Amino acid sequence: MRIQKNISLKKYNTIRIDVIAKEFVKINTDEEIQSLISSRILKNKKFFILGDGSNILFTKNFDGIIVKINTKGKRVIKENSEHIFVKVSAGEDWQNFVDYCIENNFAGVENLSLIPGTVGAAPVQNIGAYGAELKDVFYELQAIEIESGKIIKFTKSNCEFSYRNSIFKNRLRNKYVIISVVFKLHKHPKIKLEYGNIKQELEKSGIINPGIIEISNAICNIRRNKLPDVEKIGSAGSFFKNPVVDEEFFIKLKNKFPEIPAYELPDSKYKLAAGWLIEKTGLKGKTFGNAGIYKDQALVIVNHGGASSEEIIYVMEKIQKIVFEKFRVKLQTEVNII
């Protein structure tokens, strides 16, 4: 474990904002995490725990220490007639874990294919896509409490999961470092086809009775066609959450915009498609300086090269303002703004 000074974070965030971290350390083992915490560095300095930087916008140089979690490992720890439990280190690439599950016919994460990020960051955000969320397959996690250095186990109820949210984004923010996650996966797949264009994508290939590998491949194809390759165009993925509105407001919107897509939720709530709202303002594909809205997916703000955080924020606020003026809906960011 070596602490480096004045390190550019450009290659450590997928939207490619070039800011400097005063200090930077890459963690390769759980023992190194424990050593770092016992040194009390994290108690005495500003810090940020970093996965692969896929859901982050750095707005300025970071006057503290960036802790890059790079731990690896995954293994089956137990199973029964219906489920298999897999323990995965926090630094594992999420898609590598999904591929591992597909190869071993462990079902449950196939609808979460090609989501960028690390396994340790997944429960913090309660990642989700195509009708599935992390919490659907979550069993427990282990995290080190920064104050005491103790390893604490969190069950699903402890994590207070909600839409793109968890206790680690709120009440326990910067209180723990997640070191591993245990997933409860299915031996007998429960196929989910209802969300988005999954059925249409399968039909293109003539697939009638898909398994988890076909679902994963279909979703990967959809995402590749809609989202930019971050190796070529900087982005932080979906920049905004899909807004949730009550039934009375939704009916008013539906009367004014009959074609508006929505997903009915419990308690008379409706989830709107943020990308659709943005697209209907005419902003899709627009460029403002070095930043803009991606041409194939209005939910994505892109860095066309050399964009500053100020330019990204300008585009973000412009989208929020115009969407609110047209629909009276407030868009909240999914990206963490640091």
Quick one: pLDDT at residue 295?
Answer: 94
Quick one: pLDDT at residue 229?
Answer: 86
State the fold for domain 74-186.
Answer: 3.30.465
- Amino acid, res. 151: I
Quick one: pLDDT at residue 97?
Answer: 97
Quick one: pLDDT at residue 186?
Answer: 96
Quick one: pLDDT at residue 197?
Answer: 84
The domain ranges of the chain are 3-69, 74-186, 234-337
Quick one: pLDDT at residue 201?
Answer: 87
How big, in percent rounded to 5, are the helix, strand and coil portions of the chain?
30, 30, 40
Q: From the candidates 92, 164, 180, 223, give the one annotated as an active-site residue.
A: 164
State the fold for domain 234-337.
Answer: 3.90.78
Quick one: pLDDT at residue 302?
Answer: 96
Other beta carbons within 10 angstroms of residue 173's beta carbon come to: 11
Listed residue (272, 261, 251) closest to 330, CA to CA: 272
Query: Rounded mean pLDDT of 70-87?
Result: 96
pLDDT tens-digit map of 198-248: 888 888 888 888 999 999 999 999 999 888 888 889 999 889 999 999 999
Q: How far apart are CA 68 and CA 177, in angstroms?
A: 11
Alpha-carbon 131 to chain mean position: 14
Task: Answer whether residue 150 shows pLDDT above 90.
Answer: yes
Q: Which option is the CATH number for 3-69: 3.30.420.40, 3.30.2290.10, 3.40.50.300, 3.30.43.10?
A: 3.30.43.10
Task: Answer whether residue 86 shows pLDDT above 80.
Answer: yes
Other beta carbons within 10 angstroms of residue 183's beta carbon come to: 25
Catalytic-residue membership of 16: no
DSSP-assigned letter for residue 197:
T
In whole numbers, what is the pLDDT of the chain averaged over residues? Answer: 93
Catalytic-residue membership of 194: no
pLDDT tens-digit map of 264-320: 888 889 999 999 999 999 999 999 999 999 999 999 999 999 999 999 999 999 999
Quick one: pLDDT at residue 326?
Answer: 96
8 Å CB contact between 308 and 28: no
pTM of the model: 0.86
How far apart, in Å, are the Cα atoms of 308 and each of 59, 145, 289, 327? 8, 35, 10, 29
Task: Answer whether residue 196 shows pLDDT above 80.
Answer: no
Please give the helix or strand (H or E) that residue 9 lies within, else none: none
8 Å CB contact between 156 and 140: yes
If you compute the radius of gyration of the chain from its CA atoms, what whole number of angstroms results?
20
Task: Answer whether residue 195 shows pLDDT above 80.
Answer: no
The end-to-end CA distance of the chain, in Å, is 25
DSSP H helices in 260-308: 274-280
- Amino acid, res. 325: E
Q: Which pair of structure tokens corresponds to residue 260?
A: 């508006």
Which residue pairs from 195-198 have beta carbons closer than 8 angstroms and sit at least 24 positions apart in sequence? 195/111, 195/130, 195/131, 195/263, 196/130, 196/131, 196/222, 197/222, 198/130, 198/222
Check residue 293 and give left, alpha or beta (phi > 0: left; psi -120 to 50: alpha): beta
pLDDT tens-digit map of 161-171: 988 889 999 89
**Pairing relation of β-strands 138-145 and 176-186?**
antiparallel
Q: From the candidates 133, 201, 214, 334, give the one annotated as an active-site residue.
A: 334
Catalytic-residue membership of 32: no
Q: How far apart are CA 322 and CA 275, in angstroms?
A: 13
Q: How many CA atoms lie within 13 A of 109 on its CB side?
A: 30
Residue 289, judged by CB atoms within 10 A of its CB (0-12, 13-18, 19+), counts as middle
pLDDT tens-digit map of 39-76: 888 888 899 999 889 889 999 999 999 999 999 999 99
Q: From the candidates 16, 238, 309, 311, give the one annotated as an active-site residue.
A: 238
**Pairing relation of β-strands 336-337 and 56-57?**
parallel
Residues with Cβ within 8 Å of 292's Cβ and at least 6 positions away in sequence, in order, are 285, 286, 301, 302, 304, 315
Query: Could you write out the DSSP letters of every residue in 118-185?
Result: BTTTHHHHT-EETTEEGGGTEEEEEEEETTT--EEEEEHHHHT-BTTB-GGGTTTTTTEEEEEEEEEE
